[in-house]
Amino acid sequence: MNKSAIFHRNDLNNIYALDKDTLRIILRTGKDVKSATLFANDPYINGISSNAPWYGKAYQMKVLYELSDNYLFYADINPDYKRLQYYFEISDDNQSVIYLEDGCHEKDFITDRFIKHYFKYGFINEADIMTVPISAKETLWYQIFPDRFSKKDCDFSKEWIEGYYDNSMKSFNGNLKGITDKLSYICDLGINGIYLNPVFMSKSNHKYDVDDYKKVSEDFGSSEDLKELVNKAHSLGIKVMFDAVFNHSGLGFFAWQDVMKNGTKSPYYDWYFINGDVNDENFFKDHNTRDSRYYSFAYVHNLPKLNTSKKEVQDYFIDILKYWIDEFNIDAIRFDVGNEISHEFIKRIRSELKGHKEDLFLLGEIWMDSGSYLRGDEYDSVMNYPLNQKLITFFEDEKQTADDFMYGINYCLSLYQKQCNEVMFNLLSSHDVDRITTRIKSKQKALELYAILLTMPGAPCVYYGDELLLDAPSRGTMPWNELLNNKEMTDSLYLMKKLMEIRSSYKELSNEKVSFIKSNKRLLHYFRPLLNGTLEVFVNEDKTDEMIVTSQESRILFESRYENGILKSGGILIILKN
């Protein structure tokens, strides 16, 4: 037995509460292991003395996820007294071992008189349970970059410039009224949540260099325009998420301006990370910060980094968030550069804002394993870039098989608790990466990827224009005029709407359960359980066509390149089985 592959720790995501009554226990093993049994019971069944005899009830564990080199076994149990003492018995074809906190032992060790290092879970305290807004599980998001989405009649001196332009710093004059005007279009897609890139005062088109966190950018309109947008969205059943840029400020932010004026005497001097001499004539020059004169986001000189460990900084921005909730009645907040903000700050945000608005959804922008931010006291979810990377890699690396795809998806699911997996913000495109059609160089492959994304656990997001399968810069303008007369676009829109309709019709697809059919080919085949029936998904990335026979009890919900029982290479088939 490969004992070095066995791992469990009473921490992280190895044991956690699903609800006030249920614990999930997860054990990692090598793939030589054939079975795992959990032995668990209350630690005090025969008294509190260390000499008191103790025994565990047997719970047969099942495989939750298969990874490339490991199995993750699990058991969900209901401790009678909400606390637990436990150990594992693990077997391969040749032997069985006992696994305790201090490692593996021979099976008879459990009956010996020696002190045993059992695992213990203290108590299911409701305050420690990871909870997420129920509505977040049912959300199909749509991301909008305001400057490039739509313009409506606000300022006729600013022309709406439409076309596939580059990602330059030029403004293309989209505005809030333009977004409000297109909410019916968005609603018709089946969308029930929009994520807006920053909308507050800034000198740039992207608005990530915020100068005033309360004043709506005049480029986009007014506070009244923003309120109208949110109110109209709510009337259509659409939630609204703002973008909070608290890792850094713009150069026009009052605190940085005071530092520029008063130097070390500024009361806001330690709101930033300043290492150089502010009296040096080169300190505030427009060049990168690799010299460490002050810290900034990614060495960009006009994005000075805020000290979010400082209480005064935390107080200020928590007040800003409460202002946004009270003034604009928003439903969710995305935190830019969410892994560089202090944990203490995020904890305070969650504690104070959830008390202010209980069902507020908190999303962190983090590009890697984010387990330390998803323990129930910080973010509800993060932008799921690990999933993004696994999906795209499968399509770009033709050596990968359906098994490799399964391992990749299961790896992503294994990172987080069940509650988090059901609200993970899953995306293929954003303002920070290429549009998926551009990256993958194929509209059909982009359609295949969206078929997968929209049938995976979590909360998917469609980037504006991706519903047209646009091959364009990620921050290009939305081609409203061309959409009226371009058959290729309307055909793409028709197909994407059918996929989004599946997602919006079966909101339980957010649940974590997905069953894969193993294969060394590139035909993806998996099942998703529904409240009434099962969704069966085929995506054929193999170079050969595949025969797929459907039963009379099945109903085809979506098909592309499927004809007379043959799923062609590049084809998609989604079936509802009762």
* DSSP-assigned states of every residue in 141-203: EEEE-GGGT---SS-TTS----S---S-S------HHHHHHTHHHHHHTT--EEEEPP-EEES
> Is 541 designated active site?
no
CA dist 417 and 16 (Å) reads: 8
Secondary structure (3-state) at 422: coil
Q: Which pTM was predicted?
A: 0.95
pLDDT confidence of residue 390: 98
Structure token digits, residue 28: 């990692």
Secondary structure (3-state) at 467: helix
45-50-52 Cα angle (round to 5): 45
Catalytic residue among 162, 243, 331, 336: 336
Q: Which of 213, 184, 178 is nearest to 199 (CA)?
A: 213
CA dist 490 and 167 (Å) reads: 25
Question: Are 401 and 68 in contact, with CB atoms under 8 Å apart?
Answer: no
Residues in Cβ contact with 361 at an 8 Å cutoff, skipping those fewer than 6 apart: 132, 133, 135, 136, 139, 239, 241, 331, 332, 333, 380, 381, 423
374-377-382 Cα angle (round to 5): 30
Domain boundary assignment for the chain: 3-128, 134-245+311-510, 254-299, 515-577
Secondary structure (3-state) at 251: coil
pLDDT confidence of residue 47: 86
Bridge partners (DSSP) listed for residue 543: none
* Domain at 134-245+311-510, CATH from 3.20.20.70, 3.30.70.360, 3.20.20.80, 3.40.50.2000: 3.20.20.80
pLDDT confidence of residue 165: 62
Structure token digits, residue 289: 């910060």
The reply to whether 3-128 and 515-577 are identical in fold is yes
Bridge partners (DSSP) listed for residue 362: 333
Domain spanning 515-577: CATH 3.40.640.10: no
Tell me the per-residue pLDDT of 38-54, one tens digit each, with 9 for 90 and over: 999 999 998 887 777 88
> Is 326 designated active site?
no
* DSSP-assigned states of every residue in 268-327: TGGGB-B-S-TTSTTTTSSS-STT-SB-BGGG-TTSBBB-TTSHHHHHHHHHHHHHHHHH
Catalytic residue among 89, 209, 219, 365: 365
pLDDT confidence of residue 532: 93
pLDDT confidence of residue 353: 96
CA dist 484 and 486 (Å) reads: 6
The arrangement of secondary structure in 254-299, i.e. its CATH architecture, is: Alpha-Beta Complex (3.90)
For domain 3-128, the CATH class is mainly beta
Residues of the chain predicted below pLDDT 70? 112, 154-160, 163-167
